[in-house]
């Protein structure tokens, strides 16, 4: 639709054009009066409006489609996932690949980019990048059918310390409670950062939130509706006593980086340079396997459940069998902890 100019009280002409990109109006004015001024400003405003019309998808560079996809999912995906996607687009994907218009995109171009990435990054990183590529194509150009070969994930061989060694390394330090929550209860660092003292009620802890850091900003997210993450665990007396001694509402005010670095420093000094804080969850799973904990309870305690598995056991969370499982795990860690005194 053509833009028409309006004449101002001064005799000048003005056009206001809606920008579909910024969703704001842009003003164009000229001091040239009379019919000539009207023609000039309308021509300028209409030329600008034409340049702001969205391109058909098939004419868009792939990079723009990725930007559109990230914006489309901005209120659906987690801030950490969105930040990961932005980083893939900004750092990992090549400008040559991002500049390919959708009509020219094909399996050869995608495989070429995958090959380039595989020469630089670990298989998991390449697979994540392809996940963004695939998701963008499925939304904006679903008629493109292609097949690519992805690198296989490499099995990571590590020597995990024993639970007894972890207790010894962190006993009496300012990281002790956080480490016990990770190893004993199987919590992620983001879940521990979100814990409040008020989450501990009548000997039961409910995971209600997480705190993540994106671009230096600490973001608190309600995870109550995320079936894999929302769970309840009985609180061992040793952990409850430590929680009771904390001043303030939050269990910790450490950032994720601070937790990672403090943990890494101590385990490296102890001879385990390849271990991260997140590996405490793997240690937790190993202990449950050693103790013969049934899979459905192990998965539930650690939040590893599929939706169907979680739904099938969630109502039995504090059944007699589940209490026996908790007793077995708590007794094991309690004995280890007391031996370290």
Would you state the pLDDT for residue 286? 85
Would you state the pLDDT for residue 223? 59
Q: Is the pLDDT of residue 232 over 80?
A: yes
The radius of gyration of the chain's CA atoms, rounded to the nearest angstrom, is 28
Rounded distance between C-alpha atoms, residue 296 and residue 308, angstroms: 11
How much is the pTM? 0.64
pLDDT > 70 fraction of the chain, expressed in percent and rounded = 91
Would you state the pLDDT for residue 137? 96
Would you state the pLDDT for residue 50? 83
Angle between helix 107-118 and 123-140 (nearest 10): 160
Q: What is the pLDDT of residues 288-302, one digit of tens each?
A: 888 888 877 788 787
Rounded distance between C-alpha atoms, residue 64 and residue 48, angstroms: 20
Task: Report the CATH fold assignment for 163-339.
Answer: hpI Integrase; Chain A (1.10.443)
Instruction: Read off the pLDDT band of 310 (50, 70, 90).
Output: very low
Would you state the pLDDT for residue 312? 43
State the DSSP string of 68-123: HHHHHTTTTS-HHHHHHHHHIIIIIS-HHHHTSBGGG--HHHHHHHHHHHHTTS-H
Structure tokens at 225: 């509706």
Structure tokens at 61: 């560079």
Rounded distance between C-alpha atoms, residue 209 and residue 216, angstroms: 19
Q: Is the pLDDT of residue 144 over 90?
A: yes
Q: What is the pLDDT of residues 60-78, one digit of tens each?
A: 999 999 999 999 998 888 8
Selected from 2.60.200, 1.10.150, 1.10.287, 3.90.380, the CATH number assigned to the domain covering 59-140 reads 1.10.150
Q: Is the pLDDT of residue 193 over 90?
A: yes
Q: Is the pLDDT of residue 27 over 60?
A: yes
- With beta carbons less than 8 A apart as the criterion, state whether 297 and 322 touch: yes
Query: What one-character DSSP code corresponds to residue 161?
Result: P
Q: Is the pLDDT of residue 207 over 90?
A: no
DSSP 3-state of 206: strand
Residue ranges with strand state E in 79-231: 200-201, 204-206, 209-214, 217-222
Q: Is the pLDDT of residue 37 over 50?
A: yes
Would you state the pLDDT for residue 314? 35
Q: What is the mean pLDDT of the chain?
A: 87
Please state the domain extents for the chain. Answer: 6-53, 59-140, 163-339
Would you state the pLDDT for residue 267? 94
Q: What is the pLDDT of residues 152-192, one digit of tens each?
A: 877 666 677 889 999 999 999 999 999 999 999 999 999 99
Q: What is the pLDDT of residues 98-124, one digit of tens each?
A: 999 999 999 999 999 999 999 999 999
């Amino acid at each position: 639709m053509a833009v028409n100019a309006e004449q101002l009280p001064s005799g000048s002409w003005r056009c206001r054009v809606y920008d579909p990109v910024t969703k704001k109006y842009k003003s164009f004015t000229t001091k040239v009066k009379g019919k000539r001024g009207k023609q000039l400003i309308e021509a300028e405003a209409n030329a600008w409006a034409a340049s702001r019309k969205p391109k058909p998808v098939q004419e868009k560079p792939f990079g723009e489609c990725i930007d559109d996809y990230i914006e489309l999912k901005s209120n659906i995906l987690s801030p950490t996932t969105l930040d990961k996607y932005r980083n893939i687009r900004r750092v990992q994907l090549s400008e040559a690949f991002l500049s390919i218009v959708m009509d020219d995109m094909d399996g050869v171009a995608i495989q070429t980019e995958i090959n380039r990435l595989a020469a630089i990054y670990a298989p998991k990183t390449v697979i994540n990048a392809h996940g963004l590529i695939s998701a963008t194509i499925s939304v904006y150009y679903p008629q493109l059918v292609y097949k690519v070969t992805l690198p296989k994930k490499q099995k990571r061989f590590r020597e995990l310390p024993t639970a007894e060694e972890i207790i010894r390394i962190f006993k009496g330090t300012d990281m002790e409670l956080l480490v016990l929550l990770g190893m004993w209860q199987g919590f992620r660092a983001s879940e521990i950062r979100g814990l409040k003292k008020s989450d501990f009620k009548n000997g039961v802890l409910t995971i209600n939130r997480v705190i993540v850091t994106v671009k230096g900003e600490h973001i608190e997210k309600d995870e109550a509706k995320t079936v894999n993450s929302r769970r309840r665990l009985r609180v061992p007396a040793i952990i409850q006593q430590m929680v009771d001694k904390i001043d303030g509402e939050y269990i910790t005010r450490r950032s994720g980086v601070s937790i990672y670095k403090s943990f890494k420093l101590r385990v490296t000094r102890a001879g385990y340079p390849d271990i991260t804080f997140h590996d405490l969850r793997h240690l937790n799973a190993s202990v449950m396997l050693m103790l013969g904990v049934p899979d459905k309870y192990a998965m539930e305690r650690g939040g590893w459940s599929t939706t169907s598995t979680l739904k099938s056991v969630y109502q039995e969370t504090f059944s007699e069998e589940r209490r026996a499982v908790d007793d077995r795990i708590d007794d094991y860690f309690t004995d280890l902890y007391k031996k370290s005194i």
